[in-house]
Structure 1
Amino acid sequence: MNAAVVTVGDELLAGRTTDTNATWLCERLTDRGVSVDRITTLPDRIGDIARVVNEYRAEYDAVIVTGGLGPTHDDVTMEGVAAALGRSLEEHDGALVWLEQEGYSNDDLTDGTADLPAGARALHNDVGVAPGAVLEGVYVLPGVPSEMRAMFETVESEFSGTPTHREVVVIDEPESALLDRVERLRAEFDVSVGSYPGEFVRIAIESTDETSVERATAWLRERSETVSGDA
């Protein structure tokens, strides 16, 4: 299973808010064996949201969109997703019933709070108010991190794939000196290899086959000046 993550918000693009949602989602998805192939941040513009969601839903098994939910003037994500899917926005009866059960009457709710793309499955917001939605592989979640995380956990079981095994070897050598060894790792063990320089060089070895990762890791450690306690 592969996925794209789309975060929406002018404040993200202006640097006033740190996008922790994408990082958290990627970690959870990766742990479940889902390959995240895109992370895209968009402004609060209906046209941009519609264009990107429409493109990504054709390419990926799932598209997760966070941010811009609610009834205020700049909360346009639902409208953008509806446009991408060729749906109208409609008041969702199930969302209204759930909100009423939570103690919100129609008089308490701002117009548009429960508007979702026609035919969508509502995702209830146990931490906030604005509901999320699922339709045609597109998952729409709130932007408030606590709300987003709680809502994602209600659908997390719908995301699955082949887990990737990963080991990291920390080496006290110049990155340029490791080029030949990295190439041999890739050729001989059928693993993906990432090289991350800093005070030391961190070589990350990954594969869906745990034995290949273990063999490649052992091979590299035997031929390198590793740092004690590498991880």
Structure 2
Amino acid sequence: MAASEEQKDKAGTTDRDARFETVSAAILVIGDEILSGRTRDRNINFLAGHLTAIGIDLREARVVPDRQEAIVAAVNALRQVYDYVFTTGGIGPTHDDITAEALAAAFGVELAEHEAAIRLLRSYYGADGLTRERRRMARAPLGAELVGDCDGHSPAFMIGNVFMLAGIPSICEQMIASITPFLRTGRRLISLGMTVSAKESDISALMRRHQDALAGIAIGSYPRFTEDGCEVSIVLRGPDRQALAAARAMLAEELAQSGAEISLSDPA
């Protein structure tokens, strides 16, 4: 499904220089099965990588149960802070799939069957196969737009700055691919890294000093134990590759002077 100009405008897509703009997002994972440990979430990891790659900065991820009041509270909190909110889960045909109802309550509108979604589902399941349970997947907050689908059987809706995605990872991945043309994107963050043969506590002061001196660059450190002892993976993130390379070189030189062995890397 191609993005219309009107839908792109509603999603915030405009003619501007994205190189200098930050577009933020949050993910809201919905499901008792995630919180109980019965199901391991895979959507946060996938969405984080995809959004970073296209120039959207994921700032927060939350997990809430299948309770309307919890979903409403989280949606209303997140959509006020971030450019986009992506919900995953709760849009299927069963009684505990309540994301559509919750978003209608969050936006203060009625819940209604979306005619375009009904046509989509009917074309996939056939007239006889479009049962009452499957029609539930065509329900959306009044005013929501159909912005994508997964092979005709899982409609994706947008209302305001909130996108409703499936919880099943394979379907969620197809949905995000179909809605990506609707998304306003900004500057893309680049990562450069290094591995340091040292204990994190031994280099923490040096790391803090460099972080305080570097505007627009985030430095993260991730320790791990190896057969030879301890090492730390250091990742620098920012929008300017030249500035990142210069910062990494400066940091690596000072770490090497302390006696640590350095191995440079470019994290994905």
* Normalised-by-shorter TM-score class: over 0.9
Within the alignment, does 1:226 sit opposite 2:252 as a pair?
no
Contact 1:128 / 1:147 at 8 angstroms: preserved in 2? no
Name the CA distance, whole Å, in 2 between partners of 1:43 and 1:128: 28
1:80 equivalent to 2:102? Answer yes
Aligned pairs for 1:74-223 within 5 A: 74-105=96-127, 108-109=130-131, 110=133, 111-127=135-151, 129-157=153-181, 158-190=183-215, 191-199=217-225, 200-223=231-254
Q: Distance in 2 between matches of 1:230 and 1:26?
A: 20
Q: How many residues align?
A: 231
Secondary structure, counterpart of 2:104 in structure 1: helix
Q: Is the 8 A contact 2:197 2:261 kept in 1?
A: yes
Contact persistence 2:118–2:138 (CA under 8 A): yes
Cα gap change, 1:34/1:124 in structure 2, threshold over 3 Å: closer, same or farther? closer
Give how far 1:124 is off: 4.2
User: Among 50, 55, 59, which residue is 1:28 paired with?
Assistant: 50
Gaps of 5+ in 2: 1-22, 226-230
Q: Are 2:33 and 1:11 aligned? A: yes
Q: Equivalent residue of 1:198, what SS?
A: strand
Equivalents in 1 of 2:70, 2:152: separation in Å?
26
* C-alpha contact (below 8 Å) 2:26/2:78 kept by paired residues: yes
Shift of 1:72: 1.1
Alignment check: 8 A CA contact 2:120 2:152 kept? no
CA distance in 2, matches of 1:47, 1:180: 44
Q: Is the 8 A contact 1:169 1:226 kept in 2?
A: no
Inter-partner Cα distance in structure 1 for 2:190 and 2:70? 36
The CA distance in 1 between the partners of 2:113 and 2:249, in whole Å, is: 58
Q: What CA distance in whole angstroms lies between the structure 2 residues aligned with 1:4 and 1:206?
A: 19
Q: Write the distance in 1 (CA, Å) between the matches of 2:232 and 2:123.
A: 55
- Given the two structures, how large is their TM-score scaled by the length of structure 1? 0.93
Equivalent residues of 1:127, 1:146 under 8 A apart: no
What is the CA–CA distance in structure 1 between the aligned matches of 2:28 and 2:220, rounded to whole Å? 25
Q: Is the 8 A contact 1:195 1:201 kept in 2?
A: yes
SS of 2:174's partner is helix
Distance 1:150 1:107, change over 3 A: closer
**How far apart, CA to CA, are the structure 1 residues paired with 2:212 and 2:241?**
17
CA distance in 2, matches of 1:209, 1:130: 39
Give the counterpart letter for 2:122 in structure 1.
E
Q: Percent identity?
A: 32
CA distance in 1, matches of 2:68, 2:237: 38
Q: How far is the alpha carbon of 1:125 from its aligned partner? A: 3.0
Provide TM-score, normalisation by structure 2. Answer: 0.80
RMSD of aligned Cα (Å):
1.8
